[in-house]
Structure 1
């Protein structure tokens, strides 16, 4: 009945789901090796966690996927948690596309059910704010697993659903908590840029989270206890590209992170002093790093600075245009 969709039809007619049935279908969703059963179970949970036109649940449900059940499932898929049990990570070989390149079993169904749980927040809070923070950190971490590169749409939907799960009063604190959690376990290399890039949502919350993740990464990199944007900007712009010992790879990472910090959200658009200082530094990087400088990552740092400078000029022009309209 589950495979052919009759179970969902029966549940809709009855208007409720027994706990034993809900638990059984969730177990199949999370752990069954049968792909058709996984998909059918995910469709079933999508159906019973849907709302009608009036915003009310389609069926009465007493059993919901708990954070602990979802976390155990992630562990069974081979993902690791630190000793505090709050931060998800994957092994280096997995992130780099190691010897076992097979897709983790049931990961698509896991992402789908988490998304479905988030979308009924208005009528039922399945996860506490702290649990939702941890799930959001897990979802962001999954973007580092190269085996999941073909699942960007499903990952993106799950990520966006989790971002929108928090109510307004929770989001300001939770956003910082998630950003700190991510920054504490991602090293300052290209992976940290992938983490920032994966937050592609166009809504205000996604933009703020993207900026906040960049801020926390820079804070940890410079060993700061407080995320002071002005101080971080001074530290980045104090890097002298003419020095022989200049680390251009680190500079490249700093350029991308700093630009995301300043321009992902509108928080710093009106800070003309900071924005102008950043544009001047980008201009210096693009002109002072010579075209014949072939030190490691020097050409990429120069090209990135030039690209970001052009982007910042376009953003300024766009902002000026909006001001004129007002």
Structure 2
């Protein structure tokens, strides 16, 4: 075909191919047809690429537009002009969140029990006893043949007696003599209550517990009385001698902190008092009224959080004090003790702590717990209602759904009434009291919803629901 081409002609404006004008007509026609076909195919291919390029640029424009919007948003967020307003909005949001969290977690604002029972301590009596040099026990020991071995100097008599006390020989000498002189008794008693040395306090309290025990009858020429123990409490800085002192708090401890708080000798004091309660049939140490006052002091000591480590010996001392009274004395003494405690204990969570402390399982402990609960409940209403029935009616009339209702006080009331009714068998013939009690429990368990966010709402509702199950009422 190329041999027949003599010249060239443009097939189109864009083509540079020339063909022979003298070629046969058929060949020219075929060439023209091929050229047209090729031209159509090229045009189709060009149109397809244009579409692809158009789509590509459109997508690219969209991406650029979105990126520009994001950049504009970031620029707007971090702009100095809007920074103050953004911080303010964020702070407001945080405050609202904290407020809501506070409502939800209102139960975390639990009141802690605790009352400072001891204040500023005073200076105790002198522990130097010159009369020890003339005591017969020391003189007899000096005249003994053993003195030549130890070469005792009369000027060091008290030091020598301390060594006898620490190693237990003083107690053996007392057993051998079957008596305790006044000088020895006063010396050891003062060491027990006022010495700053732990080893002396421990040895002297063990000494007194041994000579007071009924293992062997010993003549004690001087016995400390209630006034001596009361004097020790005053030196210790005891604050609850009168009801007016029950409102003291830890804010008063702002200077001379080392002189405040429970004394080191309080452990020995408690152990000695417990020993005295146990020997009523052997020694006449306390009167009934004095024993009542000491029992009040012992129970009030449970309120001092710094004395938690002494809970065991406090509990044992309390049981000894309760068993001190005769059956005829107990009914009247129990009522007076309960009234005295109620006047000294704040009407808050400390009253619950007091009831938990009287945890004996014997009949007298349960009776005392019931009486203390009722007397505290009585003081909560300013002693206006003398009957428990009237107190219950006033509590039933309280609208627990009211947002102004103090649910913390209601919780304290529930605990007080629970202990009053649970351990008072004299109320079994008064069904109206238990009916009112059931109504109060239903009000607290049904009218307070599970979504109530008030402080102590869930505690009151749960407590009432639990107690309601025990009453047998649906």
Structure 2 length as normaliser, TM-score? 0.60
Return the match for 1:144 from 303, 322, 327: 303
Deviation at 1:278, TM superposition (A): 1.3
8 Å CA contact retained: 1:112, 1:158: yes
8 Å CA contact retained: 1:88, 1:141: no
Instruction: Look up the match of 1:12.
Output: 175
Instruction: Look up the match of 1:222.
Output: 381
Return the match for 2:343 from 151, 168, 184: 184
Residue deviations 1:234-279, cap 9 Å, x none? 2223322122321101101100001111002433245333224313
Deviates more, 1:258-267 or 1:205-214: 258-267
Instruction: Look up the match of 1:72.
Output: 231
Return the match for 2:317 from 129, 153, 158: 158
**Residue 93 (1) aligns with residue 224 (2):** no
Instruction: Look up the match of 1:306.
Output: 465
- What is the 5 A alignment of 1:194-213? 194-213=353-372
CA distance in 1, matches of 2:282, 2:303: 33
CA distance in 1, matches of 2:471, 2:312: 29
Deviation at 1:81, TM superposition (A): 4.6
8 Å CA contact retained: 1:133, 1:178: yes
CA distance in 1, matches of 2:451, 2:318: 42
Residue deviations 1:125-149, cap 9 Å, x none? 3111111111111111111110001
Deviation at 1:89, TM superposition (A): 5.5
Deviation at 1:90, TM superposition (A): 8.7
Greater C-alpha Rg: 2
8 Å CA contact retained: 2:392, 2:437: yes
8 Å CA contact retained: 1:183, 1:217: yes
Return the match for 1:281 from 440, 447, 465: 440
Deviates more, 1:227-236 or 1:62-71: 227-236
Instruction: Look up the match of 1:62.
Output: 221
8 Å CA contact retained: 1:87, 1:138: no
**Residue 33 (1) aligns with residue 196 (2):** yes
Deviation at 1:202, TM superposition (A): 1.1
Deviates more, 1:24-33 or 1:120-129: 120-129
Deviates more, 1:253-262 or 1:234-243: 234-243
CA distance in 2, matches of 1:125, 1:87: 32
8 Å CA contact retained: 1:95, 1:146: no
Aligned length: 307
CA distance in 1, matches of 2:468, 2:165: 55
CA distance in 1, matches of 2:265, 2:287: 24
CA distance in 2, matches of 1:108, 1:265: 33
- By percentage of residues, which structure has more helix? 2
Structure 1 length as normaliser, TM-score? 0.86
- What is the 5 A alignment of 1:231-242? 231-242=390-401
